[in-house]
Amino acid sequence: MRDYLIAGNWKMNGSRRENDALIAGIRQSTPTGIEFLVCPPQVYLEQVGALVAGSSIGLGAQNVSEYHGGAYTGEVSASMLAELGCRYVLVGHSERRALFAELDEQVASKFAAAVEQDLKPILCVGETLAQRQADETEAVVVAQLDAVLAEVGSTGFAGAVIAYEPVWAIGTGETATPEQAQQVHALLRARLASEDAELADSTRILYGGSMKPDNAAGLLGQPDIDGGLIGGASLDATQFLQIGAAAPVSQ
């Protein structure tokens, strides 16, 4: 049985005051039976880590360097994130791929660096609108997953999470239908199963792409959707909690 994971990607948002209020709101009424995770900007990791201490809310980072240390100005290593109490880290988010030119090989190296420090990577995969219209969705997401499997193998993937985020649905208000999302989630699980059936059964696959309280139940009700990677709605404690409450386990 896979536990639901509701992860909040704050992106480049927040302030010390706003973070205090947001975490206080989430801690007030966190549903049981669901794992919640917040991924603030790196400068706030220590503050937010202290705010979630003693609760069931996990701490994650939005990015990690593929390098272990050295002359890499502006980079943050996996060991540094682990020292700050991070349990998870996003790798390969579509904004990193599109805006900062991260290729599959670099994403795979970041994934490996995280695993070496016992961080749980959340591997983001997804297609653009042009790729979907060209019927390339399957080829794109499988290639993104395969790059990581080639780097770490199925054993290195144990404990990791996948987040399917159709690029055309991120921050646009557009959302994949539950059936569209389920189709891709099932495809990703089948690809894992071709390597290791037990791994495929235990790996959580999240949906990320304008998940909100009003569409969460339909998405989370699908057999291969194990949670959400939430963007804008994670900055509002009420909406974030409502999404978690929509998971079948809490009803």
Active site positions, annotated: 93, 165
- Provide the 3-class DSSP secondary structure of residue 60: strand
Measure CA of the first residue to CA of the last residue in the chain; give whole Å.
Answer: 17
The span from the CA of 235 to the CA of 177, in Å, is 23
Cα separations in angstroms, 131 against 127, 165, 167, 202: 6, 13, 10, 29
Phi, psi of 71 (to 5 degrees): -85, 70
Give CA angle at 111 (8, 30), nearest 5°.
Answer: 20
Cα separations in angstroms, 185 against 63, 126, 141, 190, 242: 23, 11, 10, 9, 23
Place of tokens 């389920």: 182
Cα separations in angstroms, 158 against 21, 149, 187, 192: 35, 11, 18, 11
Residue 164 φ/ψ region, left for φ over 0, alpha for ψ in the -120 to 50 degree band, beta for the rest? beta
- Which residues lie across from 197 on neighbouring strands? none
